[in-house]
Amino acid sequence: MASTDSFPLQQNGLQASRKYGEAAQIESEQGFAYFKGQIVPMSEAKVSIATHALQYGTACFEGIRAYWNAQQEQLYLLKLREHYQRLMQSCAFLCMKPQESLDDFCNITIDLLRKHDYHQDVYVRPLVYKATCTIKLMLNTLEDAAAIYVLPMGEYVNISSGLNVCTSSWRRANSNAMPVRAKSTGAYINNSLAVNDALTSGFDEAILLTHDGTVSEGSACNLFILRNGQLITPALSEDILEGITRNALIKMIQEDFGITVVERRIDRTELYASDEIFFCGTGVQISPVVSVDHRCVGSCQPGPITMALQARYLSACRGELAKYSDWLTAVY
């Protein structure tokens, strides 16, 4: 453990987090969106304040990245189909039946990106929501609608210098209270409370524990710890969102790095005893964690395995590795 002198001060955390938060802000009047069955100017994609989804959080969503490869002059959507498969699963949990099929969603997304003619990294946000204007707490009988918008997006958090994180006093929503395998909008109150407390206290991110007090995940990401040469990630039974990045990495770590991956329960104090920790997810990509609850992870610097994995993952995302070409859908 490093001495207090060498411990990275967290006073800049809030400022840095604000900077990255601003990067994800949306120009709500610019560009185009998929709305009511067609691609329209973003300024026309509006709903009533009485919409059920706005009142009660009855919507589900996805976050999909597309990476620009300047050399190849190509924009690559990452794990497009997998994200829409998860969206369909979320819809089923919320008793939603969008008119669009899985193929429709994939094709509309490509059309929308082509319409913008993006030559930079972007983020795609599909949403299926309960569109009826009613105050009744009902799901089955309400109208379902789909919308998709896109925004240019670079780093969502700082992926180079390492994050200083805390364990949150907010527990991760439990599978018997919320469908944690669904990306439902209402459930993100849990995540927002956790990350808001963390940022206000000067940390960069929060780790949420399950109701049993074991490690679940970050506010919008899964996590891995390195201990005794093994990479360990909370098991699916730990109320995690079943991350698409997590799945992809389990395979990459074992095949390309020859490191064993174990999916099991992780105790909170194992975080303090880890040699390396990283978050993973569409937004955070692979982000090293350098301290937890004011305790250094390893040497308080981004870990070498984390950074090697980050480099390989980002190469795969940008279409530089033939082995991973099946992760990608070319837009142009």
> Does 241 contact ligand PMP by CB under 6 A?
yes
- How many residues bind to ligand PMP according to rule CB under 6 A? 14
> Does 217 contact ligand PMP by CB under 6 A?
yes
Answer for the pair 284, 220: CB distance below 8 angstroms, yes or no. yes
Q: Please identify, among the stretches 26-34, 51-59, 214-222, 258-266, the one whose residues bind ligand PMP according to the rule CB under 6 A.
A: 214-222
Answer for the pair 265, 238: CB distance below 8 angstroms, yes or no. yes
Q: Which of residues 246 and 318 has its CB atom nearest to ligand PMP in the complex? A: 246
> Does 245 contact ligand PMP by CB under 6 A?
yes
Q: Which of residues 164 and 245 has its CB atom nearest to ligand PMP in the complex? A: 245
Phi, psi (deg, nearest 5) at residue 104: -55, -50
Q: DSSP secondary-structure letter at 51?
A: B
Q: Would you call 251 helix, strand, or coil by DSSP?
A: helix
> Does 126 contact ligand PMP by CB under 6 A?
no
Q: Please identify, among the stretches 27-35, 143-151, 280-288, 309-317, the one whose residues bind ligand PMP according to the rule CB under 6 A.
A: 280-288
Phi, psi (deg, nearest 5) at residue 281: 170, 170
Cα–Cα distance measured from residue 268 to residue 159, given in angstroms and rounded to the nearest whole number: 23
> Does 238 contact ligand PMP by CB under 6 A?
no
Out of 220, 252, 289, 328, point to the residue binding ligand PMP (CB under 6 A).
220
> Does 216 contact ligand PMP by CB under 6 A?
no
Q: Look up residue 58 and give its two tokens.
A: 């009855």
C-alpha angle with apex 98: 182 to 83, nearest 5 degrees?
45
Q: Look up residue 203 and give its two tokens.
A: 């940390």
> Does 191 contact ligand PMP by CB under 6 A?
yes
Cα–Cα distance measured from residue 189 to residue 195, given in angstroms and rounded to the nearest whole number: 10
Q: Please identify, among the stretches 3-11, 13-21, 238-246, 324-332, the one whose residues bind ligand PMP according to the rule CB under 6 A.
A: 238-246
Q: Please identify, among the stretches 23-31, 101-109, 151-159, 241-249, the one whose residues bind ligand PMP according to the rule CB under 6 A.
A: 241-249
Answer for the pair 171, 211: CB distance below 8 angstroms, yes or no. yes
| Position 78, amino acid | L
Q: Which of residues 142 and 204 has its CB atom nearest to ligand PMP in the complex? A: 204
Rg (CA), the chain: 20
Binding site for ligand PMP (CB under 6 A): 63, 191, 217, 220-222, 241, 243-246, 281-283
